[in-house]
Amino acid sequence: MPIRVLLFFSKEQRRTTISSLYTVQTCSCAHQNRRYRAKTSWSVLSRMLRELKQLHLKMLILPEFGILIASLVFFCLWWHIKRSHLQRCTSLNTVTHLPIRQNGLAATIDSSASFQNSVVVQQPEYVAKNTKLSWWSQNHKDTLPSVSGIPRYSYKDIQKATENFKTILGQGSFGTVYKATMPTSEVVAVKVLASDSKHGEKEFQTEVSLLGRLHHRNLVNLVGYCVDKGQHMLIYEYMSNGSLEKVLYGEELDTLSWDERLQIALDISHGIEYLHEGAVPPVVHRDLKSANILLDHSMRAKVADFGLSKVELFDGRTSSLKGTYGYMDPAYISTSKPTVKSDIYSFGVIIFELMTAIHPHQNLMDYVNLASMQADGIDEILDKRLVGKCNPAEARELARVAYRCLRRSPRKRPTIAEVSQSILKIKQRHLSREETVSFAGDDITRMISRIEDQQVELSKMEVTVLKKHEKLIMEDRLVVSKAWQKLEWQTLRPFEEGSAA
């Protein structure tokens, strides 16, 4: 404020003007809320102008004061325009973010109109890692903003990575899945949404927004996507051992060991636990089945295919039935209301599949119901490849967990955390048993090798004794022959001398 201007004011007026200007300045520093700040600034300014007018001073003709007011007005206008532009941009992606619990990570609920009720998790380390892929897309100026920070690729990029869609990994109701190698040498699986797919674009968007925000070591991670040339594609981390369904029912000679099956059950339960209890609100998968469990190079399992996932709503809203025959919870079929307990039911079916290698489409549930009539009924339906290779007590215990998951009343079914705990206990007991066996095995091996060493020693001793004996005999023989010669010579000598005489 130029001092010169204030000189025209009376003492009282000067004080009012200075304090008004001071208010403008401090308001702009003190308040975080910009709208409020702008509003306050405007009201203070207009009040000040009104006061100046009342003073009948011709201040505005003074160039310094005019410039100051003009720049203040300009600044406020500029700030307001910038602020509303920023707000408009953010509302296109995410609107309101409320804090949620997420395995120790801060997470938020996205209430944007485009992806209603989807779960938002703060961008994890893994996404940052994948930003190295984005150089590829950066060259393509036509790319639209990516969803949830997941790298977006052009059709050309994918065409190149899949070598013109050469290797098919599988076919689902969503479309065909191809193998691809990214420029970083990372091998991925590209799911191409079939143009006649019954899921359509809505499902595609659900999958991108949901998968892009949910990350766990037991979920198949989404590493990119493509919306280009009328095509919709999802890029996932590559699971080299394919689906659990293929491994259980395929013609591969290699079979899953009991140990591997226990680990797979535990991995699946951890994946579901993340969806049900790590994400708030909970995510119901709605299509858990062995075809949606994928196995990596070391046979560790991850839950895949969130195309049918929906965040559980607490308003009791019902929706159309989604899922796969044989895995669907009867309570869900009758109420059409998906809950986390419907997933627990499907998981129970998967546990029995793991144990029996009987597909739900081949009357698995009939066998399971028959087996439930006896305490050791599971022994009768256990996968033939496991007979004699697994501890029956462990198998029966796991079957009991699965039976609890299949209870008719959803309320009586355990939570996924309880299921995880039970499987973990079985696994730990299995490991400790194996250690004991291997300890005992170690002892026997050590004893055998000691006996073998002793045998070698004994045979060596035998050889030495024999050699010594032989030497002694030889020496004795020599002595005897010498004595014999001497005796002979002494006996014959008188005769020889006599005859000579």
Residue stretches of the annotated binding site for ATP: 191
Question: In Å, how far are 139, 140, 147, 152, 166 from 156, measured between CA atoms?
Answer: 11, 10, 19, 12, 14
Nearest residue to ligand ATP on Cβ basis: 172
Task: With beta carbons less than 8 A apart as the criterion, state whether 204 and 232 touch.
Answer: yes
Distance between CA atoms of residues 49 and 66, nearest Å = 11
Whole-number minimum distance, CB 424 to ligand ATP, in Å?
A: 26
Whole-number minimum distance, CB 80 to ligand ATP, in Å?
A: 48
Whole-number minimum distance, CB 292 to ligand ATP, in Å?
A: 5
- Cα torsion 334, 335, 340, 342 to 10°: value is 10
Known binding residues are: 191
Whole-number minimum distance, CB 125 to ligand ATP, in Å?
A: 20
Residues 413-435, buried b or exposed e (16+ Cβ, 10 A)?
A: bbebebbbebbeebbeebeeeee
Task: With beta carbons less than 8 A apart as the criterion, state whether 111 and 127 touch.
Answer: no
- Of the candidates 273, 283, 424, 281, the one whose C-alpha atom is nearest the C-alpha of residue 347 is 273
Distance between CA atoms of residues 475 and 481, nearest Å = 10
Backbone angles phi, psi at 413, to 5 degrees: -75, 150
Nearer to ligand ATP, 159 or 197 (CB): 197
Nearer to ligand ATP, 295 or 419 (CB): 295
Tokens linked to 57: 């001073």
Residue 180 CB burial class (10 angstroms; 0-12, 13-18, ≥19): buried
Nearer to ligand ATP, 65 or 153 (CB): 153
Whole-number minimum distance, CB 435 to ligand ATP, in Å?
A: 34
Task: With beta carbons less than 8 A apart as the criterion, state whether 187 and 181 touch.
Answer: yes
Q: Which candidate in 287, 305, 329, 383 is catalytic? A: 287
Distance between CA atoms of residues 353 and 363, nearest Å = 11
Residue 287 catalytic? yes
Nearer to ligand ATP, 275 or 390 (CB): 275
Q: Give the binding site for ligand ATP (CB under 6 A).
A: 169-174, 177, 189, 191, 220, 236, 238-239, 242-243, 246, 287, 291-292, 294, 304-305
Nearer to ligand ATP, 16 or 240 (CB): 240
Catalytic residues: 287
